[in-house]
């Protein structure tokens, strides 16, 4: 397959995680990519299915979620532009979670078998993807602490801080202002609160002068104040390795 600008985008993303040489670049450019646009709520991965492809986010947002037997949803992670969606399933025979589009998104699909061959033959690419998965795991741990040991105001504020830094690092947002990709219901399913409770918390954070919001537009007015009020330490994001 002829190399495309999407191949170069993937190379640039992995190069943030480790040093790739020209042979690594060539191996990535040999991968066959299928670009597609997906609409909000579209499933990219379904629990119980055998993974056949791994997707890279070009624009928009996706999220991982688990459903209980009675249909309750818990959102367990968010994927932003410049990230692979499903490296967790690269070596697994069966998916243990769902992945859905949070917004309209552009993605590039890679055949899992081809990607397995590439990471087996190119240790530097494998190391970069391994680091990506380790950082995902670090964020998972922090989200568990957030939902399990922080109060409502701290949970929501912590997530707003995380979004700000991750989106800024990805070049999607700057100067502590961004368009929140989640509805209040989706925020609630992330932090274990009802949409009504999420709305109250957002209003309270605004009244305290920590944020300003206009519908989904969020601007962090007092970063230090929000950081301290939200028990936020960015160490778990490993931004120095981004």
Digit-coded pLDDT (tens) for 71-95: 999 999 999 999 999 888 899 999 9
Looking at residue 241, its pLDDT comes to: 66
Digit-coded pLDDT (tens) for 189-207: 999 999 999 999 999 999 9
Looking at residue 2, its pLDDT comes to: 65
Residue 64 φ then ψ, to 5°: -90, 145
Distance CA 210, CA 221 (A): 5
Distance CA 78, CA 237 (A): 13
Instruction: Tell me the pLDDT band of 1, cut-offs 50, 70 and 90.
Output: low
Looking at residue 242, its pLDDT comes to: 54
The CA-to-CA distance between both ends of the chain, in Å, stands at 29
Residue 34 φ then ψ, to 5°: -120, 110
Digit-coded pLDDT (tens) for 214-237: 988 999 999 999 999 999 999 999
Do 241 and 131 touch, CB atoms closer than 8 A? yes
Host H or E run for residue 73: strand 73-79
Contacts of 232-237 spanning 24+ positions with Cβ under 8 A: 232/157, 232/158, 232/161, 232/162, 234/161, 234/162, 234/165, 236/138, 236/139, 236/141, 236/142, 237/135, 237/138, 237/139, 237/162, 237/165, 237/166, 237/169
In Å, how far are 29, 46, 193, 199, 216 from 184, measured between CA atoms? 40, 24, 9, 7, 9
pLDDT at 187 over 70: yes
Residues whose CB falls within 8 Å of the CB of residue 10, separated by 6 or more in sequence, listed in order: 28, 56, 108
Digit-coded pLDDT (tens) for 102-155: 999 999 999 999 999 999 999 999 999 999 999 999 999 999 999 999 999 999
Looking at residue 180, its pLDDT comes to: 92
């Amino acid at each position: 397959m002829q190399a495309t600008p999407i191949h170069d985008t993937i190379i640039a993303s992995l190069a943030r995680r480790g040093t790739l040489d020209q042979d690594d670049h060539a191996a990535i450019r040999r991968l066959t990519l299928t670009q597609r646009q997906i609409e909000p709520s579209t499933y990219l991965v379904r629990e119980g299915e055998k993974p056949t492809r791994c997707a890279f986010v070009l624009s928009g947002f996706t999220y991982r979620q688990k459903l209980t037997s009675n249909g309750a949803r818990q959102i367990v992670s968010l994927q932003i532009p410049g990230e692979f969606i499903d490296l967790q399933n690269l070596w697994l025979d069966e998916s243990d979670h769902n992945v859905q589009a949070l917004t309209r998104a552009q993605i590039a699909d890679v055949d899992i078998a081809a990607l397995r061959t590439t990471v087996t033959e190119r240790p530097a690419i494998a190391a970069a993807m391994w680091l990506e998965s380790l950082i995902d795991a670090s964020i998972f741990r922090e989200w568990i602490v957030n939902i399990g040991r922080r109060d409502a105001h701290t949970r929501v504020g912590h997530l707003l801080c995380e979004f700000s830094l991750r989106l800024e690092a990805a070049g999607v947002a700057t100067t502590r202002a961004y368009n929140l990709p989640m509805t209040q219901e989706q925020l609630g399913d992330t932090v274990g609160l009802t949409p009504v409770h999420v709305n109250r918390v957002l209003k309270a954070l605004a009244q305290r002068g920590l944020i300003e919001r206009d519908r989904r537009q969020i601007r962090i007015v007092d970063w230090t104040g929000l950081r301290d009020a939200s028990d936020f330490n960015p160490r778990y994001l490993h931004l120095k390795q981004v």
